[in-house]
Chains A and B, each alone.
Chain A
């Protein structure tokens, strides 16, 4: 089973700052098989990034994804108030074919 470990667990930043969230896989993941989601309290997750670096429809360009192998990054270039939420990475591949990271909480400093 591929385990995804996200860091940090909590990230405290101010609006306007840059956020860098990490997702590390226990085994190599094809760069096409990594997605990122945003979840706000009481809401379902929302797709942000698929294929490690492709933005989903309607996602602002301040969100970007990168990485390959075992290390992937979600970057938010300039934080807006609505970006404070929990972020999850997800991989698709070996059994079980789908796993999620434990999440990074992005909170207002």
Chain B
């Protein structure tokens, strides 16, 4: 079955850029909407954005000016860059596979998540 695994630094400094990768195993990255979602400690889920395997993207307007999501189909990976970090960006970052069918959209499966702390 398809599995996703996030990787990247656990601690980044304010004003710097966060870079995370998600490796997809057990299936191809071709097709589907490869997504990033985050969850501040003790709080709810916030969708960051997604990329279709062809490269088209859609970002949350609240983060759009700071977010870039890219895909490397040769490595079965997709990546997140989030710039101008502040403490408010401290969260568990999840990657997930988005599926669309007959007008429905859902995330399944999800990676286990990686905690990113923004602190000097």
Contact = CB atoms under 8 A, between A and B. Distances in A.
Interface of A: 30, 32-33, 35, 37, 43-47, 50-51, 54, 56, 88, 90, 92, 95-103
Interface of B: 44-47, 50, 58, 60-62, 94, 96, 100, 102-113
A100 B44 contact: yes
Closest 8 CB pairs of A and B: A92-B105, A47-B108, A50-B106, A44-B110, A98-B47, A51-B104, A100-B45, A32-B103
Contacts of B108: 46-47, 50, 56
A96 B61 contact: yes
A35 B103 CA distance: 12
A54 B99 CA distance: 14
Contacts of B109: 47
